[in-house]
Structure 1
Amino acid sequence: MLKLAIHDDLLVILSDSVATPGADTTYLATYSDRIACRDALVVGCGAGLLALRLARRGVRVRALDVNPEAVRLCQRNAVVNDVSDGVVATATDATTATNLGTFDLVISNPPQLPAAYPASGASWVQLANDGGAGGKDFIGWLCENAARLLRPAGVLLFTHFGFLEPEATAELLRRDGFEVRVEYALTKSAGILSGERLARLGTPITEYGVYIVEARRPALPQETKEWTTTGASTK
């Protein structure tokens, strides 16, 4: 069954077979307005809200999702919102894809719940939340591949649930030379699906904070020098 949602004048068609954008996705979409970029990679595009928001301001977007229905829905929503020229959506697993290219921005609202148990027979919507046994596998992949996917001075931008220790993730990125900021976004209540999965982590959680991690790859030495001579800070 198809449904409709409005986000800041964007019309988003939704489907029962694609995860519905939640408050964390909408917050991340709005936050992305702060990032100046020419092109972006959306990892886990879902219905396309992140891609639509970026394309509306002229960013060239490559959108990926393992769910073929999500890709079709993202493309359909791009047409509905008259940004189809700026969005290329592909059904693929980003973690195994090769030759994705490099971008000014890599953005994701990654899966961050312990994996569905049992995984066999899980729906696409359930699988969209699978972050591995401890919930952090996909975040780990994003951090490990950020330097490969970003141009110098490019930004990795993603949501991070509080119970997965966003500051620890930020510290790992800093060790790799990234300039990182972590910002509280909102608090979510644990629903039926998330509550059951979170119970496996050993601590009952009824609600949890959602944070935004913004990590900027270092600029090339000559770019840093140019910024310094003009009086602008690279921090």
Structure 2
Amino acid sequence: MRLLRLPGVYRPQDDTFLLRGAVEREPLPDCANVLDLGTGSGALAMTAAERRGTHVTAVDAALRAVCTTWFNARINGVRVRVLRGDLTRPVIGCSFDLIMANPPYVPSPLACLPRRGRAVAWDAGRDGRALLDRICVDAPSLLAPGGVLLLVHSGLCGVEDTLSRLRRAGLRAAVSERRCIPFGPVLRRRARWLEEQGLIAPGAQKEELVVIRGEHQG
């Protein structure tokens, strides 16, 4: 897969690769409809589009991400419908067999979400759940009977909180993938603040990434 990125578009990293593995292992029906929320470079959308018979829709709020995904789909010879908009709003009323999401989830000292700059791709409020909570509420209603949500985020954001929210929304939810990785530059810079908030133990240098799988039981 060839990937080009406009400046400011999220570069595929450990969370992308962890979620990609889960997507590749997820069985899909023939002619499956797939949604990639917060597509970024389009790496996950193209992973799904390479599977025979899938119809993939990719959504991102950032114009540069939309342009990057559109271009990457073309140079890789796959079909992806690319929409610009706020999470699920462009696809309200649609139904999907698989929804995958790698939203911003890094806890930030700032309560407000950034509107520009590179931090848009990772900052998610003081608890890191500004977008996660919205996905937990909005995504289940877009799943077809038997459809699956695959959602990746850091353990710093509260894994049990995500599981509880998805279960309350009627999904059968569990952690399907785990991986511990060293802190990246953003978390290293925020380590003292994260300690003060009780989000990491003193001296911690690693975080756990999780993929949560929620299945529609209809």
Q: Distance in 2 between matches of 1:15 and 1:25?
A: 17
Structure 1 equivalent of residue 50 of structure 2: 56
User: How many matched pairs?
Assistant: 207
8 A Cα contact 1:26 1:49, kept in partner: no
Q: Distance in 2 between matches of 1:176 and 1:93?
A: 20
Instruction: Name the structure, 1 or 2, with higher relative contact order (CA <8 Å, separation 6+).
Output: 2
Structure 2 equivalent of residue 5 of structure 1: none
Map Cα deviations across residues 202-225 of structure 1 (whole Å, 9 max, x no partner).
135421000110000112xxxxxx
The amino acid of 2:69's aligned partner reads: C
Q: Distance in 2 between matches of 1:165 and 1:121?
A: 24
2:62 to 67, 90, 104: 67
Structure 1 equivalent of residue 104 of structure 2: 111
Q: CA deviation at 1:31?
A: 1.3
CA RMSD after TM alignment:
2.2
2:15 to 16, 24, 35: 24
Q: CA deviation at 1:97?
A: 4.2
2:186 to 169, 173, 193: 193
8 A Cα contact 1:114 1:200, kept in partner: no
Moved over 4 A (4+): 95-98, 115-122
| Gapped regions of structure 1 (runs ≥ 5) | 1-9, 220-235
Q: CA deviation at 1:198?
A: 5.6
Structure 2 equivalent of residue 93 of structure 1: 86
Alignment of 1:64-213 (within 5 A): 64-83=59-78, 86-94=79-87, 96-97=89-90, 99=92, 101-115=94-108, 117=110, 122-123=116-117, 125-197=118-190, 199-201=192-194, 202-203=197-198, 204=200, 205-213=204-212
Is 1:46 matched with 2:1?
Answer: no
Q: Give the % identical residues.
A: 28
8 A Cα contact 2:60 2:87, kept in partner: yes
Q: CA deviation at 1:12?
A: 1.3
Q: Distance in 1 between matches of 2:179 and 2:213?
A: 16
Structure 2 equivalent of residue 232 of structure 1: none
Q: Distance in 2 between matches of 1:171 and 1:75?
A: 35
| Gapped regions of structure 2 (runs ≥ 5) | none
Secondary structure of the structure 1 residue equivalent to 2:210: strand
* Gap change, CA 1:197 and 1:151, over 3 Å in 2: farther
The structure number with the bigger radius of gyration is 1
